[in-house]
Amino acid sequence: MDLSFSKEEMAFREEVRTFFRDNVPAETRRKLVEGRHLSKQEMVDWWRILNRKGWGVSHWPKEYGGTGWSSVQHYIFNEELQMHPAPAPLAFGVSMVGPVIYTFGNEKQKQQYLPRIANVDDWWCQGFSEPGSGSDLASLKTKAERKGDKYIINGQKTWTTLAQHADMIFCLCRTDTNAKKQMGISFIVFDMKSKGVTVRPIETIDGGHEVNEVFFDDVEVPVENLIGEENKGWDYAKFLLGEVEIELKALELTQLRVVADEGKHGKGKPNPASSVLKIKGSEIQQATTELLMEVIGPFAAPYDVHGDDGSNETMDWTAQIAPSYFNNRKVSIYGGSNEIQRNIITKAVLGL
């Protein structure tokens, strides 16, 4: 297997590197290098720069604004993005709900949502996990009852990442209580400012506010906000999670092998080997942050007392170690838990 880059690919790398060098705002880059959080506006500003270049939704089909890049070009782009560094496009819109809409949505929905996702006119969040329905997502209880031309949604979601910023949510709701648990679920999108939507912060062990509880109390949603067919949401969720797995770039060699084997599993189907990336990538992330904690010991402060407002120009990098360690405890669960990924490998790779 030849894993070397061609002259054309090397030239593409230089183009991407030059663009990042000349266009990523200096303050944005400085904060990322220092391990500081960006404001919502700083992230949106950069993503709009990327979108004006035509790279905001690079992996989408060309008819919806994608680039038509090869898998190797996508690999190079993501590597340079991380190396610069610069904020990766908002996954909830670009890598999650966007592909579901352009694959399963109708033309009106594509025209309504896709351009706004590409330009981050709407910040999206994901309404999947519930109390008691984490790894067993199919047991979710949030209910969408159809009444005329509306759904009335009641229930609760949890661990909703960045919901405090969100304008829109894509939500799995139970629309048929009598069907088998995987069969009676629908994929519905709606405005987070709708009457009856309440967002409450969850403060994580690292002292941060990244995740939330979201409550729905008689939220009225137009039936036209249903994506695809009613009661087919589980199929769309499985499609979405397959798209996300390949985004994890933790093991370079394994990733390149996945890229090199693209197409062998059928068009649009994720390579089951991407589950290996998810497992090993999350394990390595956890192991490295744990090692840093052991090395630094009591000097690994639990949080940065100066905050992220730019006031602490000489912030000690050790102040970020404990928050990073605590935050990375979750990576073996989200995006499809490692236990679920092992089941995928057992069935699809080992054939057991």
CATH architecture of 123-233: Beta Barrel (2.40)
Which two tokens mark 33?
């290098």
Give the pLDDT score at 313.
44
55-68 pLDDT, tens digit per residue, is 999 999 999 999 99
Are the C-beta atoms of 105 and 229 separated by less than 8 Å? no
* Contact call for residues 117 and 98 (beta carbons, < 8 A): yes
Let me know: does 188 contact 227? Beta carbons within 8 Å. yes
Q: In the chain, what percentage of residues exceed pLDDT 90?
A: 55
Based on DSSP, count helices (H) and strands (E) in the chain, helices before strands.
12, 8
CA distance readout (Å), 236 to 97, 129, 183, 188 = 10, 15, 12, 11
Note the maximum CA span of the chain: 61
State the Cα angle at 32 between 27 and 37, rounded to 5°. 90
Q: What is the mean pLDDT of the segment spanning 242-250?
A: 51
- Euclidean distance between CA atoms 206 and 201, whole angstroms: 14
Q: Which of 78-87, 246-255, 335-344 has the lowest mean pLDDT?
A: 246-255
Distance, in Å, from the CA atom of 340 to the CA atom of 241, rounded to the nearest integer, reads 11
- The predicted structure's pLDDT at residue 293: 67
What is this structure's pTM? Answer: 0.74
Higher-pLDDT residue of 253, 277:
277
- What does the pLDDT look like over 71-97, one tens digit per residue? 889 989 999 999 999 999 999 999 999
Q: What is the mean pLDDT of residues 21-49?
A: 94
Domain boundaries 7-89, corresponding CATH code: 1.10.540.10
- 119 within 8 A of 160, measured Cβ to Cβ: no
User: According to the model, what pLDDT value does residue 326 have?
Assistant: 78
The domain segmentation of the chain, as residue ranges, is 7-89, 123-233, 258-349
